[in-house]
Amino acid sequence: MRILTGNDLKSGSVTWWTGSDWSLHVEDAVDVAGSEDEIARREEASRRVNAPYAIDAEIYEGRPRPSHIKDRIRALGPTVRPDLTLKPTDPDIGTWVI
Amino acid sequence: MYLYDQYDQAMVDARVAEFRDQAQRRLEGKLTEDQFKPLRLMNGLYLQLHAYMLRVAIPYGTLNSRQMHALADIAEKYDRGYGHFTTRQNIQYNWIKLEDAGDILADLAEVEMHAIQTSGNCIRNISSDHFAGAAADELVDPRPYAELLRQWSSFHPEFSYLPRKFKIAVIASDTDRAAMRLHDIGIQIVKNDAGELGAAFYVGGGMGRTPMIAPCIKEFVPLDRLVTYAEACLRVYNRHGRRDNKYKARIKILVHEMGAEEYTRQVDAEFDHMLSQGIEPPFAELERIRTFFEDPLFEEGASAEIDRSDPDFALWVDRNTHAHKADGYVSAVISLKPVGGIPGDATSEQMRLMADLAKDYSFDELRVMHTQNIVLPHVRVADLHALWTALEEAGLGSSNLDTIEDIIACPGLDYCSLANARSIPVAQKISERFAANGKTEALGKLKLKISGCINACGHHHAGHIGILGVDKKGVENYQLLLGGSEAEDVSLAKITGPGFDEAGIVDAVETAADVYLREREDGERFLDTYRRIGMAPFKEALYG
């Protein structure tokens, strides 16, 4: 599957296209295969996202998970500072990233 | 240290106002990202893996306590309570909001700092010896010359759109503590046979995907022509440097392809032409700058005696202090490499403590090392125990300078959008491994440097042991390199062979260290042994 990501214009936070809005959580992402360019163009024009692009993802335990480790780290936060990630108390998050 | 005059301050204030307006127009949609990107990069604002990242310039790594406090305040107010000191003596903040960027630059301007020219194809922050103005072995303080070059290169209209970024280092000692010959231009202040000071120019060095050691193209340039000669070097590069391929656009490629002899001939011709125009900056300006770098009032007859009865303190003194030009003083290094820590990271609290200690014990001065540690340059020997005690209590008393635990590591894939592999976890695991196995002391001086991609921000080419993270079909993989040096005995490290996974690279480093411990002769560092016995024994141990 293909999922769409970008950064929030004001905060710079990594965001994911949910089909109607942008979420901080990659688990909310939806498949945009075939329509990524159109959505990216429209959303960037309306300043709801900065520099959007599509990446490959797969379903992992029922939720989208980026295929490449770089995108997984981007989705979660730095592996060396779990306190700064989106899931600071999740004991299984290392497995999800690596 | 240098203090802004009305022109410096006016330039920086004007840039703050300009960028605040540009950022506001971006937020309002009046600028697209394509239009805004080059503008934010000119002000050090990147869009990194997780958020905007701001790189702040610390000219030649010199700070006062007020500036360090301001950096701490920015980390706390606008970021997540910490900053990352970089291999170019700068600081980076990883979690910046675009809507705050103008306020941050204004806060920096209040303490005579900025983020100008910390990105883009321009002359970047000038780097220098972190012991400048203090080292017992220096000819003169190199910082006035670095400051002169900073002023010349700031907003230089001719060099704002170079083929590629451009880095200059200035030293004034035969001991190279600034990786001078791995810069686009390395300048060493030297003395000729007549006893006159001048500058030796090394041009065309660099790391990155095509590492090269800069050849000396001019052994002596009179100091009143230093800027003019630098300008001639830049002009020839600007004229002939490739703009069609960013991977071949650095000056090292030009010097290599053109040949150092022909490049030098063209620089000399340009230099002669410029001299005929009479446009050298007035020598009086250098003299004015020099007055800002006069020695502080060192105490005469300060005691050099140390009570070494506490072995932990004695070890810290042995490893983390450097000989000073004034009797009874040393330069003290605060390690930002605790075992298992993130190299170069410091919290706001730690920055404030270092600032306060600089005020109490080091004439209000701090330096950022390119090895991602902090220096208090002028500490009375008599104050060392009090300083160390304060550092120990704050977790900043690691005594590991220049050991295998004093690892340079770039932010890597944990933070950087260019990286292919994580650097920091590898550094953490290596420091933990050697702290646990007790081999650090036996290994002595051993410089280990890790980069998470071929861009080499972690200086892996120059490590006695270097590690390069690569992407192998979506999996992190680490190449091991041996034999590099960024010092006066500069050399480029060579790859040992096939790479390793994350656990394997830690084992491989220990294996290489064991080969050294087995093969070394009296007085040899790791690098010396490698140079004597070559790669073969290491390959045999690593790959069988």
User: What are the distances in angstroms from CA B493 to CA B122, B459, B543?
Assistant: 28, 10, 18
CB distance B486 to B462 below 8 Å: yes
pLDDT in tens, chain B (544 residues): 999 999 999 999 999 999 999 999 999 999 999 999 999 999 999 999 999 999 999 999 999 999 999 999 999 999 999 999 999 999 999 999 999 999 999 999 999 999 999 999 999 999 999 999 999 999 999 999 999 999 999 999 999 999 999 999 999 999 999 999 999 999 999 999 999 999 999 999 999 999 999 999 999 999 999 999 999 999 999 999 999 999 999 999 999 999 999 999 999 999 999 999 988 888 899 999 999 999 999 999 999 999 999 999 999 999 999 999 999 999 999 999 999 999 999 999 999 999 999 999 999 999 999 999 999 999 999 999 999 999 999 999 999 999 999 999 999 999 999 999 999 999 999 999 999 999 999 999 999 999 999 999 999 999 999 999 999 999 999 999 999 999 999 999 999 999 999 999 999 999 999 999 999 999 999 999 999 999 999 999 999 9
Question: Quick check: helix, strand or coil at residue B132?
Answer: coil
CB distance B398 to B439 below 8 Å: no
Tell me, yes or no, whether B116 lies in a domain.
Answer: no
- Round to whole Å and give the CA distance between B34 and B13: 25
Among B187, B89, B118, CA closest to B146: B187
Provide the shortest C-alpha distance from residue B238 to chain A (in Å): 31
Option in A7, A74, A80 nearest B425 (CB): A80
Buried b (16+ CB within 10 A) or exposed e, B188-224: bbbeeeeeebbbbbbbbbbbbeebbbbbebbeebebe
**Domain end call among B234, B259, B291:** B291
- Round to whole Å and give the CA distance between B175 and B160: 32
| B371: CATH | 3.30.70.3340
**Beta pairing class for B216-222 and B91-96:** unpaired
Residues 6+ apart with CB under 8 A from B220: B190, B192, B198, B199, B200
Pair B270, B146 in one domain: yes
Pair B91, B152 in one domain: no
Residues β-bridged to residue B376: B332
Contact B51 A7 (CB under 8 A): yes
Tell me, yes or no, whether B79 lies in a domain.
Answer: yes
Contact B415 A78 (CB under 8 A): yes
Option in B49, B99, B424 nearest A74 (CB): B49
pLDDT for position B370: 97
Residues 6+ apart with CB under 8 A from B223: B145, B189, B197, B198, B199, B283, B286
Contact B98 A10 (CB under 8 A): yes
Segment (H or E) for B168: strand B168-171
pLDDT for position B282: 86
- Round to whole Å and give the CA distance between B446 and B401: 10
Domain extent at residue B180:
127-291
Query: DSSP of B219-274, one letter per residue?
Result: EEEEGGGHHHHHHHHHHHHHHHS-SS-GGG-SHHHHHHHH-HHHHHHHHHHHHHHH
Pair B230, B325 in one domain: no
Residues β-bridged to residue B96: B52
Tell me, yes or no, whether B302 lies in a domain.
Answer: no
| B13: CATH | 3.90.480.20
| B480: CATH | 3.30.413.10
Residues 6+ apart with CB under 8 A from B20: B101, B102, B105, B106
Cα torsion B158, B164, B167, B168: sign:
negative
Give CA A79 to chain center in angstroms. Answer: 16
Among B191, B213, B192, CA closest to B202: B213
pLDDT for position A93: 86
Query: Which residues in chain A are closer than 8 Å to B96, comparing Cβ atoms?
Result: 12
Site from B31, B33, B430, B471 to mutate, A interface, most A CB atoms within 10 angstroms: B33
Contact A14 B51 (CB under 8 A): yes
CB distance B129 to B142 below 8 Å: yes
pLDDT for position A66: 98
Pair B441, B499 in one domain: yes
Contact B474 A10 (CB under 8 A): no
- Round to whole Å and give the CA distance between B256 and B442: 40
**Domain end call among B110, B144, B166:** B110
Cα torsion B221, B226, B228, B231: sign:
positive
At B538, the amino acid letter reads F
Contact B424 A80 (CB under 8 A): yes
Among B133, B178, B124, B179, CA closest to B153: B124
pLDDT for position B280: 85
**Beta pairing class for A50-60 and A22-23:** unpaired
Residue of B nearest to A84 (CA): B80
Pair B353, B438 in one domain: no
CB distance B250 to B240 below 8 Å: no
Pair B162, B273 in one domain: yes
Q: How many CB atoms lie within 10 A of CB B501?
A: 13
Buried b (16+ CB within 10 A) or exposed e, B386-413: ebbebbeebebbbbbbbbbbbbbbbbbb
Provide the shortest C-alpha distance from residue A56 to chain B (in Å): 12
User: What are the distances in angstroms from CA B302 to CA B297, B299, B442?
Assistant: 12, 6, 33
Among A3, A7, A22, CA closest to A52: A7
Domain count, chain B: 4
Pair B138, B242 in one domain: yes
Provide the shortest C-alpha distance from residue A29 to chain B (in Å): 17
- Round to whole Å and give the CA distance between B104 and B115: 10
Provide the shortest C-alpha distance from residue B52 to chain A (in Å): 5
Residues β-bridged to residue B53: B46
Site from A41, A74, A80 to mutate, B interface, most B CB atoms within 10 angstroms: A80
**Domain end call among B82, B110, B138:** B110
Q: Which two tokens stand for residue B373?
A: 């540690």
- Round to whole Å and give the CA distance between B94 and B201: 35
Domain count, chain A: 1
pLDDT for position B263: 98
Contact A73 B52 (CB under 8 A): no
Provide the shortest C-alpha distance from residue A64 to chain B (in Å): 17
pLDDT for position A22: 98
Query: Which residues in chain B are closer than 8 Å to A82, comparing Cβ atoms?
Result: none
pLDDT for position B281: 84
Residues 6+ apart with CB under 8 A from B287: none
Among B242, B260, B163, B157, CA closest to B204: B260
CB distance A86 to A76 below 8 Å: yes
Pair B165, B280 in one domain: yes
Low-confidence spans in chain A with pLDDT less than 50 = none
Residue of B nearest to A79 (CA): B414
